[in-house]
Structure 1
Amino acid sequence: MVTVTAAGSLIALRGGRVIGQAEQAWSTVAEHTDRKLILYADIRAAFGYGGFIHAFKNLILRGDLMYYFTAAHHMHRLDQNIHLYRALPLTEAETAALDTLESTVERYRGMLDVAYDQTRAGTLGTLLDPLVTVDDAAAVAALDDLARVIAGEMAATRISVGRTLTLGQRLFGSLPWLIPLSLIAVVLTGALVLRLNRVVRQAERQSAELADSEQRLMTVIEGSIQGLLIHDGDLRPLFVNRSLARMYGYESAAELLAEPTLEHLIAPGQRDQARQARQSLLNGEVDELSLRLETSKRSGDLVIIDAAVRLVPWNGAWAVQATMIDVTAQELHHQELESSRATMEAHATELAGLADSLELARLEAEAQRQFQHRLLDTLPSPVFYQDPDGRLKLVNQAFEEAFLGDAINQPGELGERRLVDLLSDDLKTVAIKTDCRLIAAGDDRVVSFGGETLFADGQMHHVVVRQALVRDAFGTPCGIIGVISDITGQKRLENELRRMATTDFLTGACNRRRFLEIAGLEIERARRHGRPLSVLTMDIDHFKQINDTHGHATGDLALKAFVAACEETLRGGDALGRMGGEEFAALLPETDAAGALVLGERLRAAVSRIDLRGADRRPVPMTVSIGQATLNPAEPNLDALLAEADRALYRAKQDGRDRVVGALAS
């Protein structure tokens, strides 16, 4: 009896001590795990795009200092939570993850201070591209590492609770056969049963709390802005969160989990790349990979995703875990910036992989800015950028030389200068109307206008201005960019070609084709308005004798002198044309027959006064025979009018030359 009683007492005491130790151990672990879960949720909320990163990037895009103080507040809260997390027992994985998060926070803290200073100074635009494309993949992976460690500790705690319950059941099962042996055994056994019942209830409560903690962890994962995907080596889905499902256009995670394979989520052109990445992970060649996937949602809309891929244990086997961030909006914004700088040939399109540190990002941004300015300065045409009020904000060297001369010596000295104030009055009016249409109506087309304006060299230049509206990151018109082409030489060449095509190359009078064009237009005008019109046909007397006696050089001089005398005598609205050889014609709008005969007599007298000398310096007399005809309203025909004048010219020659003869009355 004593031996049995002692044995029962020993079992009860040792069982109580074992249960107490187990209870204290898993209770402490559960308390630490629960505390870690709370801190993890707060860290993820402060770190994510709803926290300081979101506020920081709004500061960059909007230039509002309110976002600076919001970001600083979130960073302070994040520092406190990481400090509290480090006070708990940590694994090596947790220590490494916290180090990564602190490094990321410090990197952002430095960029936040730079953004604050530049916002105050009004120069924030110089850091716009590199700062909004900072790569946070390492920090996202660190958050995933913390989540896995916490989930593992929850699982370990559940196992400890189960073992405690099992021990309690075994002890409780061994007690009944000892109870009848002794009153002492009964008392000790009763105490043990009461303690065991309390331990069991506490274990059940801790198990419920663990389940609740797991539920909270799942809530954090489901509510995360990042998508989480776990699949096997054949792309069969094992787990997806709600964010990932919505990222691809599914209504729920369950709908995506029901898919037999996820291969349709990868663009056909990237499937080989994704397959090689999975194989590298499964073969142990790499521990983690970063991928950018461009594919389509179920709706067909484009989605661009950055994914961090690694292997994780899943139900006794290895599975592939991908943490994904939808960067479609950021990528489209970057493309919009690229399109607004289409004239800058070497603008960097991707800085995310290059911005490993703040110093590198700053150097890259400064180098890019210098390159753009140098690129603009190499363009031969004036280039300008003006704000919505028309004030010049940026010009290249060609613009300064053309419009400003020595007015500025350093960049940034444009002051309140406006492009319209540098243009001529006529061109200024057109420029103001064009600017108002672009800004007020939000017209995104490239528009152009042109005319003559004064350059800094004091000369009038013919220019064509091509300009387009520039929008900011939110689509609001923020200015106008334009290129000014100096086409003075082209216009001069066009005018010269036009003159050569319409004038006689020797005398400068209209050639036959141009004269007939003008005559046709004037006859139509005279017919339409009932106005008189006359024509004179003229032939230099004995021109062949001048050529034969004095040479063709003197003959050319005679033709030039004849045209010069006619142009001095004719009125401003009259037209003189060389019809061939020594034959000429003069068109006289608003002139009746009597007026034409008077003007013809003046021409005859002017020609007779020409002082022409040959190569031997002897005088060369010149006379002209002139025939006159006036437009018949009943027959307003150019051919008939010229034929009538030619008949009058023939009679003038028959009558002895050097005279004016009018057409016979019909």
Structure 2
Amino acid sequence: MPDPEPISASSPPATWLERLPASVVVILDGCVHYANQAALKLLGATSSDQLLGRIVSDFVHPLDQHRVLARLQWTEGSEGSNPPTEFRAYTCTGRQVVLAMTSNHVPIDGRGGLLAAFLDMTERVAMEVRLQETDQNFQRIMNTMQDVFYRTDAQGITRYVCPAVKNVLGYSAEEIMGRPAADFYPDQREREALVAAVRGNGFVHDFPGRMKRKDGRIIDISISTNALRDEQGQYAGVEGIWRDITQRKEMERELERLATRDDLTGLANRRHILDALERAFKRREGRHDAMPFCALIMDLDHFKRINDTYGHVAGDAVLRGVARIVEALSRAGDQIGRLGGEEFLLLLEGADLAAAVEAAERIRSAVQAASIEVVPGLQVSQTLSIGISCWMHADGQSTDMLERADRALYRAKAQGRNMVCNG
């Protein structure tokens, strides 16, 4: 390869160097021999006098001088070129910058010089530092989070999940990344519902769901997430946070149970069973094609004798025993609750009078035939009377049904108890 055209020390370099947008410096004997306009601007010089004749080391950070000067010396003497290198430098105003330098050997009046080109990398380096700090801050947040931050791609593959997942699902983050998020759902329909909601709305907030732990246990979660879009606006996955709300859900279920269940028998309490009656009644208002519906009020016969003879603990055992019998003989859609004391209400959806009478007789007979253990070694028998009422178009409110059933119950009591009457 022929040597480059020599540059005379007594004449300026070619005028095309002045037109280059890149910063170019000619170095001879370790000093600045020439700098184009872009180099003057880069180094903060108002005139070439501030640069020409100064030794290169004046502009190089002390910690980078050994490396930079060694490269320049090698290039001057070897007639070779150096690949790009970055170093810290100072401008004429004392501002620190980061430069990327490439250099080539060039003969100057028979001596070995070099032509160096520079790019200002200060902003890029500062950006890298900021990105590194941002990444460190992000990792610090991820490492201390109790909730689980995650990201999936458009195919539902988990691309990132924070370390907190170990405490929640029992899997390490490394065990989860790369796997479909659907793998951790006990019911795929729940995952599909989440994805559909995110695709449709762009986000979800406190979306309910469940996930399966490594040990097989199912937990309740709440998900808040946003859809990710690529440069063309196409769906690219999701990212967001989900948290374990199992304890909260268990507390809510327990509060609901306490609010709707009778403490003694576990059946629906008075308010809940009467609300169920009201809802069934409302569904039939104004409809001539409504399905039949009947209500049974059941009352234990001579229950006071149990309490007086054996005590209230025995009475409670009898109430629980009768409740279990009625539950066992009820259909899947029936609802049963304790109205109070020794009185129960059974709601039969889709049952006409004949079906209601049949159900009532089956319950009455089963209770009469049962021996209920009230204390260890002591069993008692019990009977109950039942009053039936069926929904009628003329009923103005749900209490009309209750009143008819109550009157039928009174007749059953008056006629000797342990029988079924309808009203």
**TM-score computed with the length of structure 1 as normaliser:** 0.46
Which of 354, 358, 366 aligns to 1:598? It is: 358
CA distance in 2, matches of 1:408, 1:492: 30
Cα distance, 1:454–1:38 mapped onto 2, change above 3 Å: same
Which of 466, 472, 490 aligns to 2:224? It is: 466
- For residue 625 of structure 1, report the CA deviation from its aligned partner: 1.1
CA distance in 2, matches of 1:404, 1:616: 46
Which of 259, 270, 283 aligns to 1:512? It is: 270
Which structure has more strand as a fraction of its residues? 2
Which of 32, 38, 56 aligns to 1:86? It is: 32
- 2:189 is the counterpart of 1:426: yes
- For residue 422 of structure 1, report the CA deviation from its aligned partner: 3.3
Name 1:457's counterpart in structure 2.
Answer: 215
- Indicate if the aligned counterparts of 2:154 and 2:237 stay in contact, CA closer than 8 A: yes
Code of the residue aligned with 1:46 in structure 2: it is A
5+ residue gaps, structure 2, are 1-9, 36-47, 69-85, 96-121
- Indicate if the aligned counterparts of 1:510 and 1:578 stay in contact, CA closer than 8 A: yes
Name 2:22's counterpart in structure 1.
Answer: 46
- Indicate if the aligned counterparts of 1:100 and 1:139 stay in contact, CA closer than 8 A: no
Cα distance, 1:633–1:407 mapped onto 2, change above 3 Å: same
- 2:287 is the counterpart of 1:521: no
Q: Provide the secondary structure at the position in 2 that maps to 1:622.
A: coil
CA distance in 1, matches of 2:159, 2:131: 19
CA distance in 1, matches of 2:172, 2:50: 66
Q: Provide the secondary structure at the position in 2 that maps to 1:519.
A: helix
- 2:257 is the counterpart of 1:493: no
Q: Deviations over 1:551-597 (max 9, x none)?
A: 11001101100100111112111111111111111111211222211
Name 2:372's counterpart in structure 1.
Answer: 612
- Indicate if the aligned counterparts of 2:60 and 2:88 stay in contact, CA closer than 8 A: no
Cα distance, 1:102–1:473 mapped onto 2, change above 3 Å: farther
**TM-score computed with the length of structure 2 as normaliser:** 0.69
CA distance in 2, matches of 1:471, 1:598: 63
Which of 317, 329, 332 aligns to 1:572? It is: 332
- Indicate if the aligned counterparts of 1:469 and 1:481 stay in contact, CA closer than 8 A: yes
Cα distance, 1:657–1:434 mapped onto 2, change above 3 Å: closer
- Indicate if the aligned counterparts of 1:427 and 1:453 stay in contact, CA closer than 8 A: no
Name 1:373's counterpart in structure 2.
Answer: 139
Code of the residue aligned with 2:32 in structure 1: it is R
CA distance in 2, matches of 1:659, 1:507: 23
Q: Percent identity?
A: 29
- For residue 627 of structure 1, report the CA deviation from its aligned partner: 1.1
- Indicate if the aligned counterparts of 1:402 and 1:456 stay in contact, CA closer than 8 A: no
Code of the residue aligned with 2:190 in structure 1: it is L
Which structure has more helix as a fraction of its residues? 1
Code of the residue aligned with 2:321 in structure 1: it is A
Which of 171, 175, 193 aligns to 1:405? It is: 171
Cα distance, 1:135–1:372 mapped onto 2, change above 3 Å: farther
CA distance in 1, matches of 2:61, 2:13: 20
Name 2:115's counterpart in structure 1.
Answer: none
Name 1:556's counterpart in structure 2.
Answer: 316
- Aligned pairs for 1:215-254 (under 5 A) are none
Q: Deviations over 1:272-320 (max 9, x none)?
A: xxxxxxxxxxxxxxxxxxxxxxxxxxxxxxxxxxxxxxxxxxxxxxxxx
Cα distance, 1:572–1:46 mapped onto 2, change above 3 Å: same
- What is the root-mean-square deviation in Å for CA atoms of aligned residues? 4.4
- For residue 366 of structure 1, report the CA deviation from its aligned partner: 6.5
- Indicate if the aligned counterparts of 1:504 and 1:511 stay in contact, CA closer than 8 A: yes
- Indicate if the aligned counterparts of 1:468 and 1:481 stay in contact, CA closer than 8 A: yes
CA distance in 1, matches of 2:34, 2:386: 120
CA distance in 2, matches of 1:477, 1:575: 47
Bigger Rg, structure 1 or 2: 1
CA distance in 2, matches of 1:437, 1:629: 49
- For residue 460 of structure 1, report the CA deviation from its aligned partner: 1.9
- 2:301 is the counterpart of 1:535: no
- Indicate if the aligned counterparts of 1:512 and 1:579 stay in contact, CA closer than 8 A: yes
Code of the residue aligned with 1:458 in structure 2: it is G
Q: Provide the secondary structure at the position in 1 that maps to 2:326.
A: helix
CA distance in 2, matches of 1:461, 1:585: 35
Code of the residue aligned with 2:413 in structure 1: it is K
Which of 578, 583, 604 aligns to 2:343? It is: 583
Q: Provide the secondary structure at the position in 2 that maps to 1:462.
A: strand
- Aligned pairs for 1:79-478 (under 5 A) are 79=25, 81=26, 86-87=32-33, 94-95=52-53, 99=57, 138-139=90-91, 141=93, 352=126, 369=135, 372-400=138-166, 402=168, 405=171, 408=174, 414=177, 416-423=178-185, 424-434=187-197, 436=199, 443=202, 447=205, 449-469=207-227
Which range moved further: 562-571 or 618-627? 618-627
CA distance in 1, matches of 2:181, 2:358: 55
Cα distance, 1:391–1:577 mapped onto 2, change above 3 Å: closer
CA distance in 1, matches of 2:405, 2:356: 11
Q: Provide the secondary structure at the position in 2 that maps to 1:619.
A: strand
CA distance in 2, matches of 1:471, 1:36: 52
Cα distance, 1:83–1:461 mapped onto 2, change above 3 Å: farther
Q: Deviations over 1:416-466 (max 9, x none)?
A: 42323433311221343356458xxxx5x6655332232222122222222
Q: Provide the secondary structure at the position in 2 that maps to 1:588.
A: strand
Name 1:624's counterpart in structure 2.
Answer: 384
- For residue 404 of structure 1, report the CA deviation from its aligned partner: 7.1
- Indicate if the aligned counterparts of 2:297 and 2:386 stay in contact, CA closer than 8 A: yes
5+ residue gaps, structure 1, are 1-30, 48-77, 111-130, 144-326, 335-350, 356-360
Cα distance, 1:470–1:608 mapped onto 2, change above 3 Å: same
- For residue 622 of structure 1, report the CA deviation from its aligned partner: 0.7
Code of the residue aligned with 2:210 in structure 1: it is E
- Indicate if the aligned counterparts of 1:536 and 1:628 stay in contact, CA closer than 8 A: yes
RCO comparison, higher one (Cα < 8 Å, 6+): 2
- Indicate if the aligned counterparts of 1:523 and 1:636 stay in contact, CA closer than 8 A: no
- Indicate if the aligned counterparts of 2:199 and 2:227 stay in contact, CA closer than 8 A: no
CA distance in 1, matches of 2:284, 2:235: 54
Q: Deviations over 1:118-155 (max 9, x none)?
A: xxxxxxxxxxxxx9xx998x448479xxxxxxxxxxxx
- For residue 647 of structure 1, report the CA deviation from its aligned partner: 0.8
- Indicate if the aligned counterparts of 2:307 and 2:314 stay in contact, CA closer than 8 A: yes
Name 2:118's counterpart in structure 1.
Answer: none
- Indicate if the aligned counterparts of 1:532 and 1:591 stay in contact, CA closer than 8 A: yes
Code of the residue aligned with 2:151 in structure 1: it is Y
CA distance in 1, matches of 2:88, 2:200: 40
- Indicate if the aligned counterparts of 1:384 and 1:399 stay in contact, CA closer than 8 A: no
- Indicate if the aligned counterparts of 1:391 and 1:419 stay in contact, CA closer than 8 A: yes
CA distance in 2, matches of 1:509, 1:486: 30
Name 2:80's counterpart in structure 1.
Answer: none
CA distance in 1, matches of 2:320, 2:278: 26
Name 1:635's counterpart in structure 2.
Answer: 395
What is the count of residue pairs matched by the alignment?
A: 356
- 2:271 is the counterpart of 1:547: no
CA distance in 2, matches of 1:434, 1:450: 12
Code of the residue aligned with 1:657 in structure 2: it is R
